[in-house]
Amino acid sequence: MTSPAQDPARLARRRREHERQAVIFGVLVALLLLVGLGALAVYTGAIDAPFARDFTTAAASDDATAPCLPAIEDQPDGALPVPASEVHVRILNASGATGIAKANQTVLEKRGFIIDSVGNYATTLARNELRFGAQGIVAAYTLAAHFPQIRLVLDAREDATVDLLVGEKYDEPLGVDDVTLASDTPLTNMAGCKPADQLTPLPAPSPEEAEDAGSEPADEGEPAPEG
């Protein structure tokens, strides 16, 4: 018994299909090999990953929570403002603009604050900040009342001094008539504040972070308005 003769056209069509499948599988295998070799090169550091960028984190103070006002003996209704003449302030230019710290010095000295020094901060900040230790919380709240908005950042210093860091998008001090402080009216806690003992303070400022007093360039422009 003999098998029927196969159609030559059908045989040619099957041959072409097999050849096409072999080409497709060959291309896929080659692509997988290339991807694997590329991944191995990136993993070993032989080449940089495409679209790679450095990992960045926000400055520590960006997410800082303000400390709440402490309880003060003989002030049962809440902490009262500290007299300006008892608040020692260091003003640091963290904006990169010339003379901003000295402009704030002019305004705050007129209001009675003690400006211990004026200088430059090593890192540029976006906005104004007050930095202070646990002993300076009430003093910092008192100074904060002279600005429309300002970030309060607790650090590990042990005295009651306050640093005013003037950022790039700084807010000028409020006009005198817009400062709502009264010696017999308790201060108000910042929204979202936490007790100081529940916060992790930033490290105390180092000499390298802030240049000495008088290091900021003199400003030939207009000082911050007094109001």
- C-alpha torsion sign, points 158, 95, 212, 114: negative
Q: Please give the pLDDT value at position 21.
A: 76
Q: Round the average pLDDT of the chain to a whole number and report it.
A: 82
Confidence grade of residue 61 (pLDDT, cut at 50, 70, 90): low
Confidence grade of residue 6 (pLDDT, cut at 50, 70, 90): low
In this structure, the strands spanning 88-93 and 129-132 are unpaired
Burial of 121 (0-12, 13-18, 19+ CB in 10 A): buried
Residue ranges covered by each domain of the chain: 12-50, 64-198
Pairwise CA distance, residues 157 & 135, whole Å: 8
Confidence grade of residue 168 (pLDDT, cut at 50, 70, 90): very high
Q: Please give the pLDDT value at position 117.
A: 95
- 3-state SS track over the chain: CCCCCCCHHHHHHHHHHHHHHHHHHHHHHHHHHHHHHHHHHHHHCCCCCCCCCCCCCCCHHHHCCCECCCCECCECCCCCCCCHHHCEEEEEECCCCCCHHHHHHHHHHHCCCEEEEEEEECCCCCCCEEEECHHHHHHHHHHHCCCCCCEEEEECCCCCCEEEEECCCCCCCCCHHHCCCCCCCCCCCCCCCECHHHCCCECCCCCCCECCCCCCCCCCCCCCCCC
Residue 2 has pLDDT above 70, yes or no: no
Average pLDDT over residues 122-141: 96
71: tokens are: 């309880």
Residue 145 has pLDDT above 50, yes or no: yes
Cross-strand pairs, 194? 67
Residue 182 has pLDDT above 90, yes or no: yes
Q: Please give the pLDDT value at position 84.
A: 97
Q: Please give the pLDDT value at position 62.
A: 55
Q: Please give the pLDDT value at position 144.
A: 98
Is the overall model pTM greater than 0.85, yes or no?
no
Q: Which residue has the higher pLDDT, 208 or 138?
A: 138
Q: Please give the pLDDT value at position 212.
A: 54
Residue 215 has pLDDT above 90, yes or no: no
Confidence grade of residue 16 (pLDDT, cut at 50, 70, 90): confident
